[in-house]
Amino acid sequence: MFDAAETVIRVRGLVNRFAGQVVHDGLEMEVGAREIFGIVGGSGTGKSVLLRTILGLHPPTAGRVELYGREVGAMSRAERSDVVQRFGVTFQNGALIGSLTVAENVQLPLREYRRLARAALDEQSRLCLAMAGLPPDAAGKYPSQLSGGMTKRAALARALALEPELLFLDEPTAGLDPISAAAFDELLLYLHSQLDLTVVMITHDLDTLFRTCGRVGVILDGKMASGTLDRIVENPHPWIQAYFHGPRARASRGGRNG
């Protein structure tokens, strides 16, 4: 459950406009420590734009974003460096660098923010790959040699490199077969419980949503409706009704406690 006293992310009055098109219009969002918060919405509702705004990669037209009580847009370089080291991010396509091995990709944030000897870099990357469920021989492979599921896990390993408290996942199971997607969900739940992670996840995967998320934020008409899944599915908004009460949603909900 959300605990306002332990707020990790706070978004207030967020507005994002592009060439006169309003994507977010006064969006509000809060995420509490150690919860898994899912973000859903139709195409063009600005899910990835919201993520980029929270990360400080896109300056909003108006509004305020806070991470750990600090306003993202007003951070000094030192504050920004401190906050960046507290979170990890995976993007939808993995965003691995093709000319680097998997181990070298995982080591990128360590090389930027930690002064570690080569042996320590290798050891930390091996640990992160193991946590992400990859075999030891994956370290020396290149991204082009990985399956879709392995690519997702390699990106997750890199996101875990700095031992973050907060994890952002952009469509982590997109493109995966149902078995691989379910395995990723179970891995996420395990890491969440073992590492006390706070997780913010954009997903359109209903199985993932019902299997992993404690609360959900739905972007509707430029704003966000948020709450537990049990409350969200009762929202009368037509998009929510269509999304959460169709045949696929009923099947996902039916297996939620299975």
Instruction: Give the pLDDT confidence of 77-88 residue by residue, as tens digits.
Output: 899 899 999 999
CA distance 82 to 181: 32
pLDDT at 110 over 80: yes
CA distance 115 to 113: 7
Strands (E), 50-207: 62-67, 70-71, 87-90, 166-170, 198-202
At 95 the pLDDT is: 84
Residues 6+ apart with CB under 8 A from 152: 90, 94, 172, 173, 176, 184
Residue 135 CA from chain centroid, whole number: 23
Strands (E), 3-116: 7-18, 21-32, 36-41, 62-67, 70-71, 87-90
| 109 within a domain of the structure (yes/no) | no
Q: What is the mean pLDDT of residues 27-42?
A: 96
Nearest to 63 by CA among 47, 50, 81, 77: 50
pTM to 2 decimals?
Answer: 0.90
**Of 1-15, 167-181, 229-243, which gets the smallest average pLDDT?**
1-15
Let me know the angle formed at the C-alpha of 169 by 148 and 11, rounded to the nearest 5 degrees: 160
Is 15 in a helix, a strand, or coil? strand
| 17 within a domain of the structure (yes/no) | yes
Structural domain count of the chain: 1
Mean pLDDT of the chain: 90
| 186 within a domain of the structure (yes/no) | no
| 13 within a domain of the structure (yes/no) | yes
At 256 the pLDDT is: 53
Q: Which range of residues forms the domain containing residue 225?
A: 1-85+207-252
| 39 within a domain of the structure (yes/no) | yes
Q: What is the mean pLDDT of residues 15-26?
A: 92
How confident is residue 183, by pLDDT bands cut at 50, 70 and 90? Answer: very high
| 241 within a domain of the structure (yes/no) | yes
User: CATH code at 14?
Assistant: 3.40.50.300
Sign of the C-alpha dihedral computed for residues 169, 205, 4 and 22 taken in this order:
positive
At 257 the pLDDT is: 44
